[in-house]
Amino acid sequence: MKKLLITLFLFVFWTEVVFSQVNQTLIVFTNSFLNTLNAEEVKKTVYDFNDPLRSKWTNLPVGLVPRPGIAYGSLSDQSRLAFHRVLSAMFSSQGYLKTTSIMALDDILNALYQTMFDEKKN
C-alpha cells in the first residue's frame, strides 16, 4: 500500500503540473522529499508517465505479490517526514487522516500475514 501511495502521489503531482494550475506548496514539498532520497531510492520512486509500473498496484499483503516502487518502511526518518509533508499538502485533513489510517492498517495486516506465514512454516 505504501508503494501505491508513492506512485499515486507522483501521478497526482505530475498531472497537477502538466494539466492544471501548479500548486507551488506541493512542488516545494515534493522536491524536498525527492532531495532526501539517494539515487537508488529515486529510481524506485520516480516513474516515467508511460511506464506500466507507474499504475501497477495491489491491495494484497506485501509478501504475496511484489510491489513496484519504494517501500515506506525503507525510507529514512527524514524522508518519511518529508513524505508526510507532501501528503498533507496534497490532501485535505480528512484525506490525510484516511491515508495514514490505511497505511497503519496495512502494517497490521502485514504483521498478521507474517505471523500466519511463520506458523505455517513450523
User: Which stretch of DSSP H or E encloses residue 5?
Assistant: helix 2-19
For the chain, what percent of residues have pLDDT higher than 70? 79
Give this prediction's pTM: 0.70
Instruction: Tell me the three cell numbers of residue 104.
Output: 497503519
Q: Work out the pLDDT band at 2, boundaries 50, 70, 90.
A: low
Domain boundaries, the chain: 2-121
Q: Is the pLDDT of residue 38 over 90?
A: yes
- Residues in contact with 83: Cβ distance below 8 Å, sequence separation at least 6, in sequence order: 6, 9, 33, 72, 75
According to the 3-state scheme, what is the secondary structure of 41-76?
HHHHHCCCCCCHHHHCCCCCCCCCCCCCCCCHHHCC
